[in-house]
Amino acid sequence: KAGVTQTPRYLIKTRGQQVTLSCSPISGHRSVSWYQQTPGQGLQFLFEYFSETQRNKGNFPGRFSGRQFSNSRSEMNVSTLELGDSALYLCASRTDRPTDTQYFGPGTRLTVL
């Protein structure tokens, strides 16, 4: 089986712009979660989508949003980018429940100038 894929791998934007990141889960996985990783902050949970519905949400401002399509692919969008949004954005997929094994993609490295 192919693993979790994320595109693009690297992205450079300027403050005020918006960005869309894409994640394709492992075939058969219906749950997709997004995380922000910054040095010293570990893995910060953004949100989880399951069957096209947001099932869980972390403590991030409304500038961060996401969606999931019928084929389980997911996108996350960040509007009005700030310097502090520079981070590695990780997507992870699993079949269904939180007690199912979660597999991560390689991440998208976002740099905001």
Contacting positions for other proteins (CB under 8 A): 4, 33, 42-43, 45, 48, 55-56, 90, 92, 98-99, 101-107
Q: How far is the CB of 80 from other proteins (least distance, A)?
A: 27
- CB closer to other proteins, 33 vs 72: 33
- Rounded to whole angstroms, how far apart are CA atoms 37 and 42? 6
Closest approach, Cβ 15 to other proteins, in A, equals: 25
C-alpha distances in Å from residue 83, one per residue of 20, 56, 90: 16, 26, 18
Q: Which helix (H) or strand (E) holds 113?
A: none
* Beta carbon nearer to other proteins, 7 or 80: 7
Give the C-alpha separation, 89 to 108, whole Å. Answer: 5
Q: Round to whole Å and give the CA distance between 110 and 88.
A: 6
CB 17, min distance to other proteins, A = 24
Residue closer to other proteins (CB basis): 5 or 79: 5
